[in-house]
Amino acid sequence: MAVTEESSERVNGDASTVDVDASAVSVEVISPLYLHPSDSPGAMLVPIPFSGIGYRSWRRSVLRSLSIKNKLGFINGKCPRPSPEAPTYTQWERCDDIVIAWILNSLSKEIADSVEYVVDLAELWVELEDRYEQTNGAKLYQIQKEINDLSQGSLDITGYYTKLKKLWEELSNLNAKSRCTCNCTCGAKESMHKAEQDRRLIKFLMGLNEVYTVMRGSTLIMNPLPSLAQAFPILGQDEK
């Protein structure tokens, strides 16, 4: 695929000639600057436009879609804007514009209208992050309360597990910035992770219907306690 292709046609009587710019640059398929013929500016990155609620879930889906299309570099800085003199400048602008179009299509009309005049994708993404990414106590309280109040009720084991796991993942995303990323050699980090897994297992077992009393008891006497991922298939088999 050619990044730039300038041609001029001169017609003089019955004779005509076509001059093509010899400095045209090709873009490899693996390059983030490559645009597939199916990459239409009218495409959406997610099936449901973001309307102001559930930003983290929307953000995750958008980033996954951009990763599939090899366009994450326009957000994370790995594909920065080249200088205007660079041969790839025009193609970079095309890619940046088309990703902006995809994101605007994935926003509600009200939100899209408020960010329509951004200069580039980096500015658009910072605007959305500043506006919706802020963690707040009310959100933490809401999710934790949903977790505490959730029980199996009329749900089957799989439905109950899926709903609870989704809440835990959302809570983890809220606390992502406070998560330790250092290399631990004393074992404290592993112990804390095990303690968190035990708490999740206990919460899951507490919310089960009384028909699972025997299975709950047999799980609790295991030493060490299994992870929730290990206990779930056993309970699922018992349900069947």
Judged against a pLDDT cut of 70, whether residue 137 lies above it is answered with yes
Asked if pLDDT for residue 8 goes beyond 60, the answer is no
User: Using an 8 Å Cβ cutoff, are 111 and 50 in contact?
Assistant: yes
Q: Is residue 119 part of a domain?
A: yes
pLDDT in tens, 11-61: 344 433 333 333 346 788 889 999 999 999 999 999 999 998 888 889 989
pLDDT the model gives residue 173? 76
Instruction: Return all residues near 39 (Cβ < 8 A) that are at least 6 apart.
Output: 69, 98
Q: First CA to last CA across the chain, in angstroms?
A: 55
Q: How far apart are CA 118 and CA 100, in angstroms?
A: 9
> Do 170 and 220 belong together in one domain?
yes
Please report where in the chains the tokens 């959302």 appear, as a residue: 170
Average pLDDT over the chain, rounded to an integer: 83
Q: Are residues 87 and 144 in the same domain?
A: no
| Residue at 14 is within a domain | no
Residue 153 lies in a domain: yes
Last residue of one domain, picked from the residues 132, 149, 165: 132
Q: What is the pLDDT of residues 150-200, one digit of tens each?
A: 999 999 999 999 999 989 988 887 776 556 667 777 777 788 889 999 999
**Do 63 and 97 sit in the same domain of this protein?**
yes
Cis peptide before 224 (omega within 30 of 0): yes
Can you tell me the distance from the alpha carbon of 3 to that of 23, in angstroms, rounded to the nearest whole number?
Answer: 10
Which DSSP state fits 30?
T
* Residue 197 structural domain: 137-174+191-239
Percent of all residues in the chain with a pLDDT value above 70, rounded to a whole number: 84
All residues at 6 or more sequence positions from 6 whose CB lies less than 8 Å from its CB, including other chains: 20, 21, 24
- pLDDT value for 175: 72
Number of domains in the chain: 2
My answer on whether 91 and 151 are in the same domain is no
155-164: string of b/e by CB count within 10 Å (b at 16+)? Answer: bebeebbeeb
> Maximum Cα–Cα distance for the chain, whole Å?
96
| 203 shares its domain with 126 | no
Listed in sequence order, the DSSP H helices in the chain are 55-68, 73-76, 89-105, 109-114, 121-132, 137-149, 157-174, 188-206, 213-220, 228-239
40 lies in the same domain as 96 = yes
Decide if pLDDT at 1 tops 70: no
